[in-house]
Structure 1
Amino acid sequence: MNKILIAIVILGVCTAANIKCTAEQKKAEFCTMEYMPVCGVKINSNNRFSQTVATYGNKCSACADKDVEFYITGECEQYPKEATFCHPDAHLNKACTREYFPVCGLFDQSIQCFRFPCGMNYSNKCSACINEHVAYLVPGNCEEMKLPSGNNSE
């Protein structure tokens, strides 16, 4: 049973998809009540890596919030608290600075992984997010990551 729970948790951590809200979605006046939670990301205008996140009932509700720039599938709580989500357009950057602040970049669902963590080490946030398959990152090296704890009470 524990192996099944671990597999589900790992799948949850590796299935992120960062999707930019379209202009049409931003204009939505009404949204359905379907519950397909997403994690809406608001970007701090002074620092593109400074973010505020909130769980919304669906993508329409997230994008209807004028401050949400993009969303990630699933509830915010299923991601590590220290996660920084890569902007969907970050891979368009031409270059990154060379400062060394190591991060573990976690891949989106387009990469199939067979072990935790489903990611790769990068020298800094920019170099991680310039890879279009990185959905989010956490500080430090991937080898230091702990398996996410489930919401099971024992």
Structure 2
Amino acid sequence: MKRLLLIATLALVASCQLVYECPEDGKVFKCSSEPLEVCGIKTVNGEQIKETFANSCQACSAGKVEFTIERKCEDYLEEAQFYTPSDKKIQECDDQIEPKCAWFDQDVKCLVYPCAINAKNKCSSCQVKNVLYTTEGKCSKSIQFHQMIKNE
């Protein structure tokens, strides 16, 4: 019950990390000349390739990436597996058990540590509001502590 209350509280104090899905045809309609570094992500052979760009417009042009996440790629754990915009649209998950550590977006202000929860698989963690990415296996307090310091 306390964990559920914590998750509800986190959802109230959080603001969503900006995820921008690139148009499939490479045309970008929401361009800004202001630099706002983003992590551009493209999936190649089941692996996410991440690269930092000056802004979403630059990253999405000519189909370089599928989607972008606010902030530089280096601001996230190297092993982070981000949710694609289509992952967030899945309504139902299977019961397959593949433990994941589900990390809340960096704008969540955690009341207690860690700033992540254990999930039985990627799909089930995607159903939790404000979870941005996962890492393999159950959450490790030492990794979470490293992540908290890195973001401050």
Residue 41 of structure 1 corresponds to 41
Shift, 1:143, TM fit: 3.6
* 8 Å Cα contact 2:39/2:50 also seen in 1: yes
In the other structure, the counterpart of 2:81 is 84
Instruction: Name 1:119's counterpart in structure 2.
Output: 116
1:66 equivalent to 2:37? Answer no
Q: Which amino acid aligns with 1:23?
A: P
Q: What is the Cα deviation at residue 65 of structure 1?
A: 4.3
Larger fraction in helix: 2
Q: Which residue does 1:148 correspond to in 2?
A: 146
Residue correspondences, number: 134
- The verdict on how the C-alpha distance between 1:112 and 1:51 changes in structure 2, with shifts beyond 3 A counting, is same
Verify the 8 A CA contact 1:17 1:135 in the aligned structure 2.
yes
Uncovered stretches (5+) of structure 2, i.e. residues with no partner = 1-13
**Is the Cα contact below 8 Å between 1:87 and 1:129 reproduced in 2?**
no
Superposed displacement of residue 15, structure 1: 7.9
Give % identity. Answer: 34
Structure 1 unmatched ranges of 5 or more: 1-13
Q: Counterpart of 2:134?
A: 137
The alignment partner of 1:68 has SS state of: coil
Native 8 Å contact 2:20 2:69 kept in 1: no
Q: CA RMSD in A?
A: 3.1
Q: Contact conserved, 2:22 with 2:65, CA < 8 A, in 1? A: no
Q: In the alignment, does 2:12 pair up with 1:23?
A: no
Residue range with higher mean Cα deviation, 50-59 or 106-115: 106-115
TM-score by length of 2: 0.70
Q: 1:112 to 1:144 in 2, by over 3 A?
A: closer
Q: Is residue 128 of structure 1 aligned with residue 132 of structure 2?
A: no
Pairwise CA distance, 1:124: 1.1
Deviation for aligned residue 1:66: 0.3
- Secondary structure, counterpart of 1:41 in structure 2: strand
| Aligned match of 1:8 | none
CA–CA separation in structure 2 for the residues paired with 1:100 and 1:18: 29
Structure 1 residues 72 and 116: alpha-carbon distance in aligned structure 2, compared to 1, 3 A threshold:
farther
